[in-house]
Amino acid sequence: MLGRLLGCSPRLWRPMARPVLRPTRAVGDKAKGAQDTALQMANPDYKALKNDRSPTNFDKKVLVWAGRFKREEDIPKYISSEVLDAARNSVRIKVCYIMIALTLLGCLAMVITGKEAAKRDHTLLMKNVEKKAKWRAEVEKDQEAAVVKPQ
């Protein structure tokens, strides 16, 4: 139907739409990651493949926090980019959960403090009334001072 709307046959636009719908790589394949690490630990002369890379200190912290390795010393010299991407994604999800929890705690704290302030009659309306009364008193003092000066 899209091809008819665009004025060309479906055979022309289908090959262009297909790569968008197809996943480009597998994410979070723990078995493959375990095989890669076992291969790297068994063979110290392991040559890094095209998608393997040496992890930075931050990458090592991410891999440990994601639960891929127990300690930073256990991380091999080269890891595949898929393992690192999966670890980053799981850490990203954990951080999002932490941010959601902190947001809910902040909202709860604001509700509690707002209710306490309302009980003490310490509301924005009262603050504004006090501020305007103070301004009016200052204006009256200025006007009295202006009246007293010319005499």
36, with CB counted inside 10 A (0-12, 13-18, 19+), is buried
Please report which helix (H) or strand (E) contains residue 52, including its range: strand 52-53
89 in helix, strand or coil? helix
72 in helix, strand or coil? helix
Q: Identify the pLDDT of residue 20.
A: 47
pLDDT over 90, % of the chain: 39
53 in helix, strand or coil? strand
Asked if 82 and 33 count as a contact pair (C-beta separation under 8 A), the reply is: yes
Helices (H), the chain: 2-6, 10-21, 30-42, 57-66, 81-119, 124-148
Please check the confidence at residue 142 and state whether its pLDDT lies above 50. Answer: yes
pLDDT digits (tens, 9 = 90+) for 64-121: 999 889 998 888 999 988 999 999 999 999 999 999 999 999 999 999 999 998 888 8
pLDDT digits (tens, 9 = 90+) for 101-111: 999 999 999 99
Q: What are phi and psi of 80, to 5 degrees?
A: -80, 155
Q: Identify the pLDDT of residue 22.
A: 45
- pTM for the model stands at 0.51
